[in-house]
Structures are given as C-alpha cells and as structure tokens.
Amino acid sequence: MMAAFIGGCGGTNSCKKGTVLLSVQLAGAAGGADGLRVTVTVDGVAGSVQSIARPVGAPNGTVEVIFSTYPVGRSVAISVEAVAQGTVLGSGASAPKTLVAGCDAITVDVGGGPLADMAKAPNDAAMALPDLSPPPDLSSPPADLSMHAWTLLKNTMSAGMPLRGIWGDGASLVFAVGDKGLVVRSKDHGNTWKALLNVGTSANLNAIWGVGKDVYVAGAAGTMVHSSDGGDNWSPITVGVSSDLFGIWGTGTGNLYVTTSSTILHWAFNIWGKETPVGGPVLLGIWGSSPTDIYAGSNQQAYHRSNGTSTWTQKSQTGMAGYVWGASKDDVFVSAAYNATGVYHLTSGGQNATFAKLPFVPQAIWGSGPKDVYVGGDADTDSLYLYRSIDGGTLWNSVKEFTILGTTHSVNAIWGTGPYDIFVADRAGGIFHYQ
C-alpha cells in the first residue's frame, strides 16, 4: 500500500501559509521507483500535476511537492493518483475534510497497482524534482529586487519627449504626460501604448491624477484638461489663473487641489477657489491622507492644511520642499527641492521630522507603504537616479537593477499599484515597469 500525506508538517520542508505540502511515501518495493507523477484533485477539480523524482537517500522513497491552490474553511474531498512510467501505482480519496491555511495534514490511502513491478522501472531523466520554494508573499515589498524585473517599455509613443507625470486607474489604464501637450495611454497596463492626439493643448504638461475613468491633467500657463471616459475624449477646464500648474490631488471629482507657482486652487461646490499660503511660495507637489489632512511642497517649506480649514501653515520641521507622498497622516515623505538633496519624513501628524541626505535633487516620490518608498531625480555627477528605502526613510540605496537598463536621465515621475507593480517616467521619454 502507498500512503499520501497532504500537509505533512513534520517533514524537512515545513509548509507555508497558503500552500499544502504533499508528501507521497512509497512502501515496499515501490520505494525504489525513480520516476513518479502525482495528480491531486480537490472536489473533482485537478489542482496540481507535478513530475517528481525520488530524492537520493530519502527514507522509504519519500517525495514532496508544493500544492499552492486549495480551498480553506470548507469541507472538501481530496483524491490522489500516482503514476510512474505510464503505470498507475494506485489511487485513493480522503474522507471529507475542512482545510485550514498554513500547515494542514490529511492522509489518503492509495492502494492497488503493480507496486512490485515499479522496482524494475528504468530511470527517467526527463523527470526532475520540482522547485519546492513557496510562492512569494506579494503582500509585502520585496527586499531583493533582483528576483524581479525592471523593463524599459517599447513603443510608448513618447518620441523622446520629456515625461513629467504618470498615473493609472489601478486596473488596465496607465497614462503618462509631458512636454508639448503629450499624453500617452496604455489600455492594457503598460503592454501597448498610444499617443492621444485629441487632448487639445500643446502646453507642457506637468501632472496627472484621476479616479476611475475621470482623468485630470495640468500644465503650463494655467492649462488643465479633463476626460470622463478614460481618455477617449478631452475637454479644457478654466481654472482662472495663467500661472503654471504643477501638482494635482483630490478625493473625487468634486474635490480637487491644484498647486501653482503662486497659490493652491481648490475645486469644490462646482467653483474654483484660491487658497494662498502665507509667504507666497511657489508650490509643487500635493498629497493628502483625507479631505482634512493635506500637504503641499514649496520653495520655502512644506505646508499643511488640517481640520477641514482653508488655512495652510508652514511646517518649520522642513526646509525647501518639492514633492509629497504619504502612507498615512503619520507617515508623510517630502522631497527636498531647489538644489537641496534629500527627503524629509514627517511623523506624528507632521509634528516630527527626520532628514535623509541623497546625492541628487529629488524630482519624484512614491511608495507602496510606509516601509517601501522610492525617490527619483536628477544630478550631474550621479547616474543612479532611482533610490529606495525599505526602513521608513532612514537608509536609502540606489536601485541597481534599474540602472542596468542604462538610463542616465532624470526620473520625473513614479506611480504604482503596489510593491510588485511600479511605473517610472524619465526626462528622455522613457517609461520603465517593474513587476
């Protein structure tokens, strides 16, 4: 008889959360079999078919394989069929069992089949041990980027034009904007791109933001355009100023903030209003954790709007500030600006700040979480234009996997959906994708 143990937690390979470790133990003469194919079926649906071989020196011909997709929290029946050299060794099924995540154990008795004949089966070189490494935990950022890939996307239709903003809807749409009215769009999350020729402006475009299919683009000389259908059609928006627009952030189509070279524009109740911070700074990036907690960067200091008021107060904890991104109201990252080189990390609602020096002037900042933050920028003497912190902004290291692509251009914009899906746009019109 051959017994199949599913979820064998006591073996040399402990099963990880979200997987079942399938251990097939051959008894008697079958322990000498060199080739084996195992089919695992859950509730009548084949979940995994693996080719495996008997590990050298394994007791009783024990072989193991990871089975990574299975239902938890409900009663299921699991069946196992073992085949070697085209001969069915045996099969069997378990009694109904409610599986749990992590290590789970269940025994299936697999009987019948000419076990004795398998001792004479020739070695099958085509059959090899599977990779028993557990699948990656995609809920947390990768510490080693070399396990994944940065790709310079081809045919983005940017024609070498500088790109200054990038944004996507989190599903299939991704946009990048740049000089001379350039807007390029991908409808398949970066695989193919098309330049949109109906945007209706030739102004240099600096920023893009949206929610769903509502997309807003801002640029030079008070230029702002809007699409309500994911970029198929565009219409101009009159914002009432002729100064350059640099940043956009909002909580929805009825509540938008736009930074300019002289003020902050606020769209609410179907009207544009001006909220001018004290000191008349040139404002760049903007980000908020909620409608009542918003940060903006400027050539003086960072500014903070809180408690639902229209008053912007300087954050004396920072120097000249540029672009802003946060994970929450207690984890806000502000890039230094105007030839300053570094990043401020604001905590405790912006009351405390720490500064980390970088060897370039930051032009873009984005993170997948408070412990995974990217900063890109420009420097004449440094060709590593993308840096990353995985400890909340204390230590920063160049992303060497990114520089392998050979870029020596300023990183102007960063956006992503999570730690394993990041887009970067640069000054030479390049778009890079990490996945």
DSSP letter string over 24-93?
Answer: EE--GGGGG--EEEEEEEETTEEEEEEEEEPPTT-GGG-EEEEE-----SSEE-EEEEEEETTEEEEEEE
User: Could you give the CA distance from residue 370 to residue 343 in angstroms, rounded to a whole number?
Assistant: 14
Q: CA torsion, points 397, 330, 257, 246, in degrees to nearest 10?
A: -20
- Nearest CA to 32 out of 112, 89, 92, 93 is that of 89
Q: Which residues contact 125 (CB under 8 A, 6 or more apart)?
A: none
User: Could you give the CA distance from residue 415 to residue 425 in angstroms, rounded to a whole number?
Assistant: 9
pTM exceeds 0.75 for this model: no
Domains of the chain: residue spans and CATH: 2-118 (2.60.40), 145-434 (2.130.10.10)
pLDDT of residue 165: 97
pLDDT of residue 105: 44
Give me the tens of pLDDT residue by residue for the chain, a chain 435 residues long: 444 444 444 443 444 444 444 444 444 333 344 444 555 555 444 443 333 333 333 333 444 444 444 454 555 566 666 555 555 555 656 566 665 544 444 444 544 433 323 333 333 333 333 444 444 455 566 665 555 578 888 788 888 889 999 999 999 999 999 999 999 999 999 999 999 999 999 999 999 999 999 999 999 999 999 999 999 999 999 999 999 999 999 999 999 999 998 899 999 988 999 998 877 788 999 999 999 999 999 888 889 998 877 888 888 778 888 899 999 999 999 998 776 789 999 998 888 889 999 888 888 999 999 999 999 987 655 455 789 999 999 999 888 766 656 556 789 999 999 988 999 998 888 899 988
User: Could you give the CA distance from residue 319 to residue 306 in angstroms, rounded to a whole number?
Assistant: 20
DSSP 129: -
Q: Do you know the residue count of the chain?
A: 435
Structure tokens at 335: 């890039």
